């Protein structure tokens, strides 16, 4: 690997790191917006004695889950690209004669797919999906049992 290739790989790694960080920050903003909205809507619904609004929280839960999962899947792709560049840089540091260099370096990623969504539902990603599951089931239970302020 030439010095120029190393510089290109290092710059690409920095770009991927920045993109992954940006996607992660956006996902957390989506999540915090949903939590605040859901909590407020549940509290309002309880006080308004109109349990049908609980179903709006369920709908919002699904919409925000799909939105955040799209950001998480894009973030995962940038992390994978970053790892490939890290392997290249490690080979360069180890003075490998034939360092592994990714076939392409670019910011293009695959469109998030439903199969990628299934991967986010793995047990190791419980911190991602469990809060959504709770905030999906809670208003549903409150609606089914007609819980409201007396």
pTM for this prediction: 0.88
**Residue 14 belongs to a domain:** yes
Give pLDDT tens digits for 73-103: 999 999 999 999 998 888 888 888 777 777 7
* Residue 1 confidence (pLDDT): 52
Residue 106 lies in a domain: no
**Residue 51 has what pLDDT?**
93
* 40: its two tokens: 């407020």
* Residue whose structure tokens are 């539902």: 121
| 150 in a structural domain | no
Q: Mark the ranges of the chain whose per-residue pLDDT is less than 50.
A: none
Percent of the chain's residues with pLDDT above 90: 67
Instruction: Provide the 8-state DSSP code for 132.
Output: H
Are 102 and 88 spatial neighbours (Cβ–Cβ below 8 Å)? yes
Tokens representing 105 are: 């370096």
In a domain, 105, yes or no: no
Question: Would residue 88 count as lying in a domain?
Answer: yes
Residue numbers of the domain that contains 20:
3-100+116-145
């Amino acid at each position: 690997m030439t010095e120029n290739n190393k510089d290109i790989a290092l710059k690409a790694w920095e770009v991927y790191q920045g993109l992954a960080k940006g996607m992660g920050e956006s996902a957390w903003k989506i999540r915090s917006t949903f939590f605040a909205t859901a909590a407020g809507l549940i509290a309002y619904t309880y006080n308004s004695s109109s349990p049908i609004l609980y179903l709006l929280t369920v709908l919002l839960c699904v919409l925000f889950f799909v939105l955040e999962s799209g950001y998480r899947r894009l973030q995962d792709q940038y992390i994978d690209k970053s790892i490939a560049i890290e392997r290249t840089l490690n080979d360069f540091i180890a003075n490998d004669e034939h360092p592994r260099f990714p076939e392409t370096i670019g910011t293009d990623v695959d469109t998030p797919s439903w199969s990628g969504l299934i991967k986010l539902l793995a047990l190791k990603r419980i911190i991602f999906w469990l809060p959504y599951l709770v905030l999906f089931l809670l208003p549903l239970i409150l609606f089914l049992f007609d819980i409201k302020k007396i």
